[in-house]
Each structure stands twice: as C-alpha cells, then as structure tokens.
Structure 1
Amino acid sequence: MPVEIEQFMCRTDNFGVLAHDSKSGETAIVDAPEEAPILAAIKRTGWTPTLILTTHHHADHVEANLALKERFKLRIVGPEAEKAKIPGIDETVGQGSVVRLGEERIEVIETPGHTAGHVSYYLPASKVAFTADTLFALGCGRLFECKPPVMYESLKKLAALPAQTAIYCGHEYTLANARFAVTVDPGNPLLKQRAAKIEALRADNKPTLPTTIGEELSTNPFLRWHDPGIRKHLGMEKASDAEVFAEIRKRKDNF
C-alpha cells in the first residue's frame, strides 16, 4: 500500500510534508522548516513521527529539528556531506543509501547543486520522490554552493525516474517559475496550458504540487536542455546540454 502524504505550508513559501506508512504506523517528516505547522499537521492526521528526512542544511529546512526531536524522540537522517551543519543528526546517508519507513524502501539520491551535499529521497513502491530545492515544479534550485554542471548531473538523475513519479519539492515557487519558463520555451503549447492552470490555482491560493516527472519533462525548461525549440530560441543549437542548462539557469537568476 502506498504511503499517505500530508502536504502543508510552512513559513512564507516552504512546503512541509508528512509521509505515513499505515501498515507499520511509522511517519517521516520531510525537512523541518517550522515547528508549529508541523505540529498542527501531526495533530490533524494523528500520525506520530518517527524520523525526519533532511535534504540539506539550509535553516528553512532544519529550523525545527531539535524541537521535534526533543518532543517525539525521533531520529534525524541527513546527508553525510552536510552532517556538521544539520542539527540533531543521528544517521547519515549518501548515494545508494536506503532508509526504511516500515516496509517502505526509501532510496537516497545525491543531488548536489543548490548545496554541495543536497540529497533527494525516492520511494519506488509508492512512486514518490522528495526533491526539496533541487527540482521544483517548472524550476530548479539556485546554485549557492556548486557550478551549473553539478546541478545538471543531479537533474539528469531525477529526470531518469519513472514518468509517473510524484514530485514533492521544497517551495511554492511555481507561479514565478511558470512566468519565467514561457520566456525560454515560448513555442510549447503544454507549457502555456500549464501556466494558465497555475495562475488559476494560485489565484485561489491552492498549491501547485505535487507534480510528476512526466509533467516536468514536457514543460520544465530546466529538464528540456535537449529541446530544439528552446535551443533555437536561445541561439544555442550546437551547444552541449550542460551549456544550455547553464544559460537557462543564468537567465532565471536575472529574471
């Protein structure tokens, strides 16, 4: 049976997530941006958390680690490369590591770029991935600690997941991402349709997540470095895929 997901807002634009394995009763918190909304979600669902899956060290993803650990005596899992920066960490993981949530297998994918040690968590049985600040709906994370080729390789890993994989990311940035995306992929009818849908969702204050790998492959310019239309629009028909990605990321930084 797939894990149950409870998604909710934290801070101003962070997403909080609980992932619950009903058979075992175990629950994971995916990142801990803010204690109060997480406690509200726990109360609303009745799920008692047993671990935190930390994706990276930024404060808006680990702020509530210690408070939640003290309250629930849970264990905190996070990337080995950032262990010194993650409050309360108990267990470190890297590429190929496996974490268990009851009988659910959670595979760790190293996805550096936004930070040097960022990881994503993939649940193949439930067809779900938590990509935090690596892959956003119609976007990707800002490159604070790595160069574009590093993020490009990370996105290639996520793009290779099955198309039906549901993607939960770290922030509600989709509207701004959509407005940028149409500037680099103006001839994409699927993108135009999606952008209109996103405008309507946000006008009603509704979330734009989850998305899927398939939807991102068809509309997210940060995964469409190979697309002839994008390459022609950028004047980069003969550039490498990594160079096209770097140009799109640079344009987004200045958008």
Structure 2
Amino acid sequence: MHLLIKYGYDGTKFEGFDRSNSKNSVESVIINVLSEYNITKNIESAARTDKNVSAAGNVFYIKTEERPEKILGILNGNIKNMFFHSYYLSNSYINPRYNSMKIYKYIIPYRIDSRLKNNIARFLGTHDFTNFSKNDYRNPVRTINKIEFEEYNDFTVVNFYGKSFVWHQLRSIIGFAMHSDEDPFSIKYHNRFLAEPEPLILYDIIYDNISFIKYRFNNRYIKNKYNSLFIESIIYRVFLRSIDV
C-alpha cells in the first residue's frame, strides 16, 4: 500500500526539517518512530520548511502494509509538538512533491496599511526570484497564483498560494515589502531583508484528484497549548500597559 500522511508541527521545537540537520529534526523524529515500530526506515517529504517555520498541512509518503489508522495512532502517541491528522491510501506510488497548490500563511502582529499591502501584492504572478531567495540548484522562476490578506483586531495574516516556492522566498518577500517601496523586479541587488521564520506556516498542500481522510485523534494537547499561550499573551499585554502608564 502507498500512503500519504498529512501532519503539522511547531517548527520552533525542532532543529530544522531535514534529517541531515539533527536527530531532533522533523524528518529524523518521524523516521525514528516509524523505524522503531518496524514500519519503514525512510519517508519522502512534500516540502522542507526552514528552521523555526511551522506547518499545519505538510505531507510525507511511505510504502507500508500496516493500517493507516495504526500508523497515525503510533505517531500521535509517540511524538510531541507534532500532530498527524489525515491520510490518503493508494494502490500505486504517489510522489508527494507533485502537488497542485501550496498555501503558506505569514502572520504580521499588527494591522497593516495599504502601502504594505501594495508592496506585497507586487510579487503576484510569475517572476524570477533570484534576488528574493537563497540560491541553490533550483530554477528561481516561480509563480504566486494568489495573495490574500486576512485582517483581525490586532494582527494580519498574509496568504500565499503557489505550486512551489524556493528557499527563503516568502520571508524575503515580506522583509523587502516592509522596508522598501521599490519595484522589486527592477532592483539589481540581492534583497538583504529577511523576515523572521517563526510567523511563517505551511498551511496546506493540495493535490489534484486526492481527498484526504480525516483521522480522529485526541487534540487536547493543541487546545491546552492554545489556552496557556493565550493567557500568557494577555499577561504580557498587561505588563506592557503597566509600563506605558
């Protein structure tokens, strides 16, 4: 059986994503658990996020004879700061990198103005992102299909839609847009502004003709974490108000 597993993780709790980075990388931790239970010694990942970047809907592939529910139960029961929530089972191999769309979210901790929105919107479409990525062997020409802005009381979420992105591309876009009103594709230098990784989330990966099955698991850890961090954020907001008085 060929299995795709969709999962999320708090990127700040791991030493990067790639297994070569550390025993505490996202890939290494998953592989170690799957190997311990004699399920597999290797996974194929759909996306490799930067260090401290989180995910809600990354995907990996394995070949196995075990039931998907058993595998997701093992992973959720043995790995902290990750959650494995959906799967797709196939009779034939599926390359997890051949997706139709990736969705990333970047959280800006304030309501942004029209100037910043316009600066970010300039990156929409197909462009050569040589000056807005960490150069490697991949072609830097990429297409951003859509950019959306979600506005809340005291923060903004920027949604990027595209089939593929190059290393540091989205953080470079946000950093440049915050610091410059220039036309990004007229500059002759490499962008020196790189936004912080922690607010970036790989929200979802979408495939043509594939519908993932939701796995029912105990999400008490996520709810408890949310509640504790929410209270902590309120406490520090009170601290700031007391200092500003």
Normalising by structure 2, what TM-score? 0.27
Higher helix share: 1
Higher relative contact order by CA 8 Å / sep ≥ 6: 1 or 2? Answer: 2
